[in-house]
Amino acid sequence: MSISARNQLTGKIESIQEGAVNAIVTLKLAGGNNITSTISMEAVKDLGLVSGKEATAVIKATEVMIGIGDLKLSARNQFAGEIVKVTEGAVNANVALKTDGGNTITATISMTAVKELGLAPGVKAKAVIKATSVMMAV
């Protein structure tokens, strides 16, 4: 299956914290980064997710935020890195950040935010993704 989501990060499931309705699934990515997903227990069972199984975290670029500096947020997924590409449009831009772990994460953000944050190749930044915005695929 091919999908339009720009961010597809493959790794191995490190842990599954089960709740009554939802689970928190932690995926260990190449380069040492972890990404966390909050998905339903039904999805965990349907996908056959277990520790050690290979899976892919799927995130739409519109669900990725970009921040500068020391961020204290409730979002579980915060990836430090460097902006490698900014593709500007009339209203929005696609911003690619290479994480310190070597993964590339793309965000679609407003041109206003790009200008206010001074985003350009070489700028240190963080990609921020809420765990509820991370889908899992096998």
- State the CATH number of the domain containing residue 29: 2.40.50.100
Residue 132, classed as helix, strand or coil, is helix
pLDDT band at 71; cut points 50, 70, 90 = confident
Would 96 be classed as within a structural domain?
yes
Would 2 be classed as within a structural domain?
no
pLDDT band at 133; cut points 50, 70, 90 = very high
Would 84 be classed as within a structural domain?
yes
Beta strands in 68-134 (DSSP E): 77-88, 92-99, 104-110, 124-129
The per-residue pLDDT for 129 is 98
- Give residue 22's domain range: 7-59+132-137
Statement to judge: residues 95 and 40 lie in one domain: no
| 11-69 residue pLDDT tens | 999 999 999 999 999 999 988 899 999 999 999 999 999 999 999 999 999 999 999 99
What DSSP state is assigned to residue 111?
H
Among 36, 15, 7, residue whose Cα is nearest residue 103 = 7
Statement to judge: residues 34 and 46 lie in one domain: yes
Statement to judge: residues 20 and 68 lie in one domain: no
When divided into structural domains, the chain yields a total of 2
